[in-house]
């Protein structure tokens, strides 16, 4: 395909560039929406704690989940680190599973607790592999 005169880009390259720009704008817009919704959930949680004047372990663990979501948004928005976008959702899953075990452990069957603990171990190994491969291969 012949390049266009003013820019030196082919029509397909320009279309690809516009599409990529559109996807980046869509991604950033969705990240902003997720951040606003997360901050709204944090405000609701804090309001509940203030009204009831009781802070439970569930409240604290939920705040950790919100913090990790905000951290993940920051990583995705700024594009820091190639492995980080994969690692943060895994951290959130680990925290959510730990929260489930802590809050529902008494009522759960022992084998289910073991399965969930095994899931945490598996996710932790996945994080270690991702971070180690990033360090060794420089990706």
- Percent with pLDDT over 70 in the chain: 88
Higher pLDDT, 16 or 83: 16
The answer on pLDDT for 79 being more than 80 is: no
Tell me if 97 is assigned to some domain: yes
pLDDT at 5: 54
**pLDDT band with cut points at 50, 70 and 90 for residue 6:** low
In the three-class reduction of DSSP (H, G, I as helix; E, B as strand; rest coil), residue 126 is classed as helix
Tell me if 72 is assigned to some domain: yes
CB atoms within 10 A of CB 136: 8
Q: How far from the centroid of its chain's Cα atoms is residue 48's Cα?
A: 25
Of the listed ranges 10-14, 24-28, 63-67, the least confidently predicted one is 10-14
Q: How far from the centroid of its chain's Cα atoms is residue 67's Cα?
A: 10
Tell me if 90 is assigned to some domain: yes
Tell me if 4 is assigned to some domain: no
Name the nearest CA neighbour of 4 among 30, 112, 62, 12: 12
d(CA 90, CA 100): 15
Name the nearest CA neighbour of 70 among 50, 97, 41, 45: 41
Do 83 and 139 contact (CB within 8 A), yes or no? Answer: yes
The tens digit of pLDDT for each residue in 101-113 reads 888 878 888 899 9
Tell me if 6 is assigned to some domain: no
- Expressed as residue numbers, the domain containing 25 is 11-137
Name the nearest CA neighbour of 67 among 47, 95, 106, 29: 95
The tens digit of pLDDT for each residue in 29-76 reads 999 999 999 999 999 999 999 999 999 988 998 999 999 899 888 888
Tell me if 5 is assigned to some domain: no
d(CA 60, CA 17): 44
pLDDT at 123: 97
Give how far Cα 3 sits from Cα of 15, 41, 55, Å: 13, 51, 64
Tell me if 125 is assigned to some domain: yes
pLDDT at 14: 87
The number of distinct structural domains making up the chain is 1
């Amino acid at each position: 395909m012949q390049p266009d005169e003013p820019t030196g880009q082919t029509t397909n390259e320009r279309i690809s560039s516009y599409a990529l720009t559109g996807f980046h704008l869509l991604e950033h817009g969705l990240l902003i929406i997720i951040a606003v919704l997360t901050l709204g959930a944090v405000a609701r949680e804090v309001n509940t704690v203030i009204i009831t004047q009781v802070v439970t372990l569930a409240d604290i663990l939920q705040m950790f989940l919100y913090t990790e979501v905000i951290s993940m948004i920051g990583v995705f928005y700024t594009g820091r680190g190639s492995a980080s976008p994969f690692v943060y959702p895994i951290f959130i899953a680990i925290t959510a599973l730990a929260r489930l075990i802590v809050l529902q452990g008494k009522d759960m069957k022992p084998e289910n607790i073991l399965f969930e603990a095994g899931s945490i171990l598996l996710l932790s190994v996945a994080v270690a592999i991702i971070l180690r491969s990033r360090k060794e291969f420089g990706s």
